[in-house]
Structure 1
Amino acid sequence: MEEQYNNLKIGERGAWVSIIAYLTLSALKLIIGYLSNSEALMADGLNNTTDIIVSVAVLIGLRFSRKPPDEDHPYGHWRAETIASLMASFIMMVVGMQVLYNAGRSIVDFRAETPDALAAWTAVGCALVMYGVYRFNCRLALRINSQAMMAAAKDNLSDAWVSIGAAVGIFGSQFGMPWLDPLAAVVVGFMICRTAWEIFRDATHNLTDGFDEQKLMKLRQTIEEIPGVKALNDIKARVHGNNVLVDVVIYVDPDLNVIESHHITEAIEKRMQEEHGIISVHVHVEPWEK
């Protein structure tokens, strides 16, 4: 448990790096996008502002998750990050819809203007910076074995590609096709909405104790291979923040004594931690009826 809390502290570094990068890049994109009349770059800047919200949500969630269990929260506060992500998804969706509305109105009203090439080069430079942030957070996620940090790293990479897409649209508008700039903004708006939906979907799935059936099957196979386990009666799993809680009912030889049965449960707990990184396994033992 202490190792998990230490990993949460390390994970906060990645959140802070993302926040600082997004604050700097979003301000740069919004200012240059406004001065160069580039809707694509401004949309990309707004995309980064939503990423700031997500990063802050992750940071707040990590802070609350570190709180130890208390009388009102006997399982701890691990789901704080999930709740924060859910709230962030609502804000992201609103921003994405606003980007789509503004860009769509420019296309329909034929108000698209050819932006300055500086906007395109700004997008390219920001993409390179975000790729560097992605590499940093990816190494950090592998170091602490954090799915949340790895998801944040993948979001960093997607933001780099969004900037590249914005640059392509701006460069294309330089060749007599000014409508490519707002069209790129529309693409960015859709990507913001898609990301918001994915965060909302995953958060609600976890909060309602949903769990991937294929992963559950792998957990079942691991337990069935442990010596002394005659069969599985039932197995359940749910996501609790960055942790997975497993409840399993196994059948063992009825002639085993309490200590021997306990050794089997310890073997299950050890194997689940080594192979799947799960440290919370509740095992109930029942006698195998021949």
Structure 2
Amino acid sequence: MSERSMRRVGAVVLAVNVFLVVAKGAVWWTTGSLAVGSEAVNSLADAGYSVVILAGLYLTTQPPDFSHPHGHERIEPFVSLFIALGVFAAGGAVLWQATTSVLSGEVGAGTVSPAAVGVLVGTAAVKFGLYRYCLRVAEETRSPALTATALDNRNDILTASAALVGVLGTGVGLPVLDPIAAAVVSVGILYTGYEIVQDNVDYLVGSAPPEDLRAEIIRRALDHPDVEGAHDAIAHYVGPEIDVSLHIEVEGDRTLFEAHDIETDIVESIRELDEVDDVFVHVDPKELGEWKDDETVEGFAET
């Protein structure tokens, strides 16, 4: 069900962005508003990355196979970074257009166009709906690509509002507000790209997950009645999922069967965390004295 939901989001986002490109492009052509034009470029970039999202979500929702025994979810951070590149390109283009317009003095007075106001207000409303929709499915599926899409739609609400200020400013005799609003739009676009990169770099470089999640992993190991201690606990991202490894200390007189059952219980307990993929537990007899001070474990165990 989650796979169908993710693919449906990609199709809906693509269809909406194509519609907005056509609507904004038509208004831009008839009014010449730089703010609306910048929004048209933004929607064009959105439509382009929507194609990438749709293709990427198709790949990432494929079942595991011999070449990818853990599935294809680890492709998603790369899809998200591709989205970020498109967002940066669009933001740079809009900023260049707004800057050159102000420096050249090519701004003129005009009237408020009902079409421009309507398309921008409509854009903000539609993008708010897309933001909530994408965010809900992203939270359900833990999809970095859909999270990136939600962030972009959230910022599109702000950029459409800024563009509306520019359109209204032109109509009240402050035409310079039009390119200024376009520049604000570009900043919003560029910030979206930054957020997407920031969110996905951790997935690609194997960073540790948030502290509260690491604390919960350690607590689940120490909660087992037969575990005397833990050390060498490591949790890190492998794609959008987390791999965990740790050593636990148990009484040395446990049978092999008992040690196996303890290990299995802890692995299953930690795997119940939605973000966790693989768990590796090494069982140490506490009498060997391999236990070592581990400030990370001790700190999390006390929280």
TM-score (norm 2): 0.83
* Residue aligning to 2:160: 163
* Residue aligning to 2:235: 237
Give the aligned residue type for 1:12. R
Is residue 92 of structure 2 the alignment partner of residue 97 of structure 1?
Answer: yes
Aligned 1:191-206 pairs, distance under 5 A:
191-206=188-203
Aligned 1:197-216 pairs, distance under 5 A:
197-214=194-211, 215-216=213-214
State whether residues 15 and 55 of structure 1, in contact with CA within 8 Å, keep that contact through their aligned partners in structure 2: yes
* Residue aligning to 2:81: 86
Give the direction of change, closer, same or farther, for the CA distance of 1:223–1:187 in structure 2 (3 Å limit): farther
Give the direction of change, closer, same or farther, for the CA distance of 1:248–1:59 in structure 2 (3 Å limit): farther
Give the direction of change, closer, same or farther, for the CA distance of 1:275–1:210 in structure 2 (3 Å limit): closer
* Residue aligning to 1:226: 224
* Residue aligning to 2:61: 66
Give the direction of change, closer, same or farther, for the CA distance of 1:64–1:221 in structure 2 (3 Å limit): same
How many residue pairs get aligned? The number is 285
Stretch moving more, 48-57 or 22-31 = 48-57
Aligned 1:1-290 pairs, distance under 5 A:
6-114=1-109, 116-117=112-113, 118-144=115-141, 146=143, 148-214=145-211, 215-289=213-287
Q: 1 CA distance for matches of 2:208 and 2:155?
A: 25
State whether residues 209 and 242 of structure 2, in contact with CA within 8 Å, keep that contact through their aligned partners in structure 1: no
Give the direction of change, closer, same or farther, for the CA distance of 1:43–1:160 in structure 2 (3 Å limit): same
Secondary structure of 2:172's aligned partner: coil
Secondary structure of 1:211's aligned partner: coil
Structure 2 unaligned regions, length at least 5: 290-303
Q: 1 CA distance for matches of 2:13 and 2:272?
A: 30
Q: Alpha-carbon deviation of 1:106?
A: 0.7
Q: Alpha-carbon deviation of 1:146?
A: 4.3
Secondary structure of 2:102's aligned partner: helix
Give the aligned residue type for 1:269. V
Q: 2 CA distance for matches of 1:163 and 1:91?
A: 18
Structure 1 unaligned regions, length at least 5: 1-5
Q: Alpha-carbon deviation of 1:101?
A: 0.6
TM-score (norm 1): 0.86
Give the aligned residue type for 2:265. A
Q: Alpha-carbon deviation of 1:154?
A: 3.6
Task: List per-residue Cα deviations over 1:166-211 (Å, max 9, x = no partner).
Answer: 1122212322111111111111111212222222333333212123
Q: 2 CA distance for matches of 1:154 and 1:238?
A: 24
State whether residues 38 and 114 of structure 1, in contact with CA within 8 Å, keep that contact through their aligned partners in structure 2: no
Give the direction of change, closer, same or farther, for the CA distance of 1:73–1:143 in structure 2 (3 Å limit): closer
Q: 2 CA distance for matches of 1:149 and 1:16?
A: 12
Task: List per-residue Cα deviations over 1:11-47 (Å, max 9, x = no partner).
Answer: 1111111111111112211221232111111112222
Stretch moving more, 65-74 or 155-164 = 65-74
Q: 2 CA distance for matches of 1:211 and 1:59?
A: 29
Q: Alpha-carbon deviation of 1:144?
A: 4.0
Q: 1 CA distance for matches of 2:150 and 2:232?
A: 35
Q: 1 CA distance for matches of 2:160 and 2:139?
A: 25
Give the aligned residue type for 1:133. L
Give the aligned residue type for 1:98. A
Q: Alpha-carbon deviation of 1:252?
A: 2.2
State whether residues 60 and 75 of structure 2, in contact with CA within 8 Å, keep that contact through their aligned partners in structure 1: yes
Stretch moving more, 186-195 or 149-158 = 149-158
Secondary structure of 1:60's aligned partner: helix
Over aligned residues, Cα RMSD in angstroms?
2.5
Secondary structure of 1:42's aligned partner: helix
